[in-house]
Structure 1
Amino acid sequence: MVKAFTQEYVYKHPWERVTSASYRKFTDHENRRILTHILEVDTLSCKHDPISKKLYTTRAVTVHFPGPWFIRKIIGQEICHCIESTVVDAKSRSMQLSSRNVSLQKFIEVEEKIRYDPHPDNPSRWTVCRHETNIHLKPLPALASIAEKVEQRYVEKVVKYSATGREVMERICTYLEAESREIRRL
Structure 2
Amino acid sequence: MVVSYTQEHVYRHPWHRVTAAAWRKFTDPAARAAALSHILDVHTLSRDVDARSGRLRAVRAIAGSTPPLPLLLRGLLAADAVVLCVERTDVDAPARRMTVDSRNATLRGLVDVRERCTYAPHPERPDDWTLFRQETTIACAPPAAVVARLVERRCAERFAQNADRGRDVVERICDDLTAEQSAVHVPR
The TM-score by the shorter chain falls in which range?
over 0.9
TM-score normalised to structure 2 length: 0.93
Residue number in structure 2 paired with 1:185 = 186
Residue number in structure 2 paired with 1:9 = 9
1:158-173 to 2 correspondences below 5 Å = 158-173=159-174
- Contact (CA 8 Å) 2:70, 2:151: kept in 1 or not? no
Gaps of at least 5 residues in structure 1 are: none
Residue number in structure 1 paired with 2:77 = 75
Deviation string, structure 1 residues 51-81 (Cα, Å, up to 9, x no partner): 0100011100011121315323223463210
Q: Distance in 1 between matches of 2:82 and 2:161?
A: 18
Higher helix share: 1
Give 2:133's match in structure 1, choosing from 130, 135, 155.
130
- Contact (CA 8 Å) 2:70, 2:150: kept in 1 or not? no
Distance 1:37 1:69, change over 3 A: farther
Cα distance, 1:152 vs. partner? 0.9
- Contact (CA 8 Å) 1:46, 1:55: kept in 2 or not? yes
Q: Distance in 1 between matches of 2:89 and 2:16?
A: 15
Residue number in structure 1 paired with 2:111 = 108
Root mean square deviation, CA, Å: 1.3
Cα distance, 1:144 vs. partner? 3.1
Q: Which runs of 4+ in 1 moved over 3 A?
A: none
Q: Distance in 2 between matches of 1:69 and 1:26?
A: 27
Q: Distance in 2 between matches of 1:75 and 1:8?
A: 33
Aligned residues: 184
Deviation string, structure 1 residues 145-172 (Cα, Å, up to 9, x no partner): 2211221111011000000001100000
Identity of aligned residues (%): 42
Q: Distance in 2 between matches of 1:26 and 1:53?
A: 24
Deviation string, structure 1 residues 63-121 (Cα, Å, up to 9, x no partner): 11213153232234632101000000011100000000111111110001000000000
Q: Are residue 51 (structure 1) and residue 52 (structure 2) matched?
A: yes
Q: Distance in 2 between matches of 1:145 and 1:152?
A: 11
Q: Distance in 2 between matches of 1:2 and 1:145?
A: 13
AA paired with 1:115? T
- Contact (CA 8 Å) 1:65, 1:72: kept in 2 or not? no
- Contact (CA 8 Å) 1:43, 1:58: kept in 2 or not? yes
- Contact (CA 8 Å) 1:67, 1:150: kept in 2 or not? no
SS in structure 2 opposite 1:74? coil
Gaps of at least 5 residues in structure 2 are: none
SS in structure 2 opposite 1:67? coil
- Contact (CA 8 Å) 1:82, 1:100: kept in 2 or not? yes
Q: Distance in 1 between matches of 2:94 and 2:180?
A: 25
